[in-house]
Amino acid sequence: MGKFDKATLDGRLKKISKYNVKIYNWAKTSYNTSELYFEPESEDDIKKIIELAKRNKKNIRAIGMVHSPSDLPFSDGYIISMNKLNRVIKVDLEKKTVTVEAGIKITQLNEELSKHGLALSNLCSISDLTIGGVISTATHGTGVNFGCLSTQIKCLTLLTDSHGKMNCSETMNSDVFKAALCNLGALGIITQVTIQCETAYLLEANQIPAKLNYILDNLDAIVHSAEHVRFWWFPHTDDCITWKANRSNKRPLPQKLSYIHDTLFGFHLHQLVLYLSRFRSSTVPKINQLIFSFKFSKPIHFIDDSYKVFCFDCLFSQYVNEWAIPIEKAKYAIKDLKRWIETNEISAHCPVEIRFVDQDDIWLSPAYGRKVCYIGIIMYRPYFQPVPYRKYWAGYESIMRSYDGRPHWAKAHTMFRSELEKVYPKFQSFIELQKQLDPTGLFLNPYLRRHLFGENVDVKNPKAKL
């Protein structure tokens, strides 16, 4: 990319911009070089960037931590990193709400809330994400009576092209609110959010080994047996772990990690065997057995601050795909997936992660109008082999489609407009609103043009191609 002439920018924009910045996603499965990269510190900065982009006919993309495992956060035009918009604006102890800038990381938010005796009601697997990124993709945790994280938002501020600054909530610009709670960066830039929290709490977690058939035969009871339930299945085996967590008044009993068990073997040996499997993928089933026996065959019990219990280390960079299907179909879809993996001799890395999320009324949320079971598959990045990988992904997606699945937006998936409009009742409303708020397509990028508008475009992004 040619050198951009910064002399054409005004003093403030010059100060907060860089050019030719290469950004990678967490798993390093995609990267992108934008023409200009901004680190604004205020809403006024963002307004100036929007004006500049309009004048120069460039696209804009707000980014958080760029953790989305796809080209969703990328743009060939201007990138706005939200990382410096990370302040806590107001804590209301009576209402148990907090108002923050959208670039705040979940880690920082957890710590700030803890100082005030508050906590989020549910969390996703890791906390190195921004609240803006989490909301924009309907990021979820687990708990059959807990919605995705966007459902905890009371109101938000959106900077749009056509309507300027919009404050949105259930009662103010309510349509925009329902669309913005899973906006994919397509409507404008979220600058502030107010989040409903609860009094800080401890979670008691129990992780126990179990057999897949037992879980599937008792799925409904297991899913409702604790506030937060997930399970991991180790493909090519019948082994699973169930993880359950409940709010607790007991004394804290933090998890004890050992260097030998958790780091030396649990990380380095695990990595070594994955590396060796690269040369013979037929060893993956044995590796899954080994990982289960060594790391997961014994029960684990601990009690700690909620946010320390919800999150865990995702270990190695990975390709992921995750779809949400109606909860009552979960049992059949998981059985089909197992049968399909075995019949087709797919070397499927462990674990397949299964989580449960309450229904909501957010227009593009995969849980719109139905309680869902998310089924997520992974393939560790440095160790995968392209051909089985493609076959695995295609087979998995075809099973998810046959059970009315909706893909997680942040993850690389192959559902496009003609299918999306069938599975999302509010898809057309979202598109119409997008056109109203962003008539010139300022906030569109290749991912959105491809998936939402059916255009055949790709980000300049060689690493994403397999």
Binding characters for ligand FAD, 204-243, by CB under 6 A (x = yes): ----------------------------------------
| Binding range to ligand FAD, per CB under 6 A, among 130-138, 290-298, 301-309, 429-437 | 130-138
- Label the pairing between strands 352-357 and 228-233: antiparallel
Complete DSSP assignment for 368-436 = BTS-EEEEEEEEEGGG--HHHHHHHHHHHHHHHHHTT-EE-TTS-----HHHHHHH-TTHHHHHHHHHH
- Asked if 134 interacts with ligand FAD (CB under 6 A), we say yes
Instruction: Give residue 365's region: left, alpha or beta (phi > 0; psi -120 to 50).
Output: beta
Residue number with CB closer to ligand FAD (71 or 96): 71
| Binding range to ligand FAD, per CB under 6 A, among 4-12, 125-133, 295-303, 413-421 | 125-133
| Binding range to ligand FAD, per CB under 6 A, among 50-58, 122-130, 235-243, 267-275 | 122-130
Binding characters for ligand FAD, 147-186, by CB under 6 A (x = yes): -------------------------------------xx-
| Binding range to ligand FAD, per CB under 6 A, among 34-42, 135-143, 206-214, 326-334 | 135-143
Binding-site member from 49, 50, 52, 82 for ligand FAD (CB under 6 A): 82
Q: Do the beta carbons of residue 124 and residue 141 sit within 8 Å?
A: yes
Q: Give strand ranges (E) for 36-128.
A: 36-38, 60-63, 78-81, 88-92, 97-101, 118-119
Q: How far is the CB of 68 from ligand FAD (least distance, A)?
A: 3
Binding-site member from 9, 21, 126, 423 for ligand FAD (CB under 6 A): 126
| Binding range to ligand FAD, per CB under 6 A, among 120-128, 269-277, 393-401, 424-432 | 120-128
> Cα(374)–Cα(369) distance, rounded to whole angstroms?
15
- Asked if 136 interacts with ligand FAD (CB under 6 A), we say yes
Residue 255: name the closest of 210, 291, 203 by CA.
203
Neighbours of 168 (CB within 10 A): 23
Q: How far is the CB of 117 from ligand FAD (least distance, A)?
A: 25
> Cα(393)–Cα(389) distance, rounded to whole angstroms?
6
Binding characters for ligand FAD, 309-348, by CB under 6 A (x = yes): -----x----------------------------------
Q: Do the beta carbons of residue 88 and residue 100 sit within 8 Å?
A: yes
Q: Which residues between 60 and 79 bind ligand FAD (CB under 6 A)?
A: 61-69, 72-73
Residue 246 DSSP SS3: strand
**What tokens were used for 77?**
């035009």
> Cα(434)–Cα(161) distance, rounded to whole angstroms?
10
- Asked if 244 interacts with ligand FAD (CB under 6 A), we say no
> Cα(448)–Cα(427) distance, rounded to whole angstroms?
13
Return residues touching ligand FAD (CB under 6 A).
Answer: 26, 61-69, 72-73, 82, 102, 124-126, 129-130, 132-134, 136-137, 139-140, 184-185, 189-190, 314, 408, 410
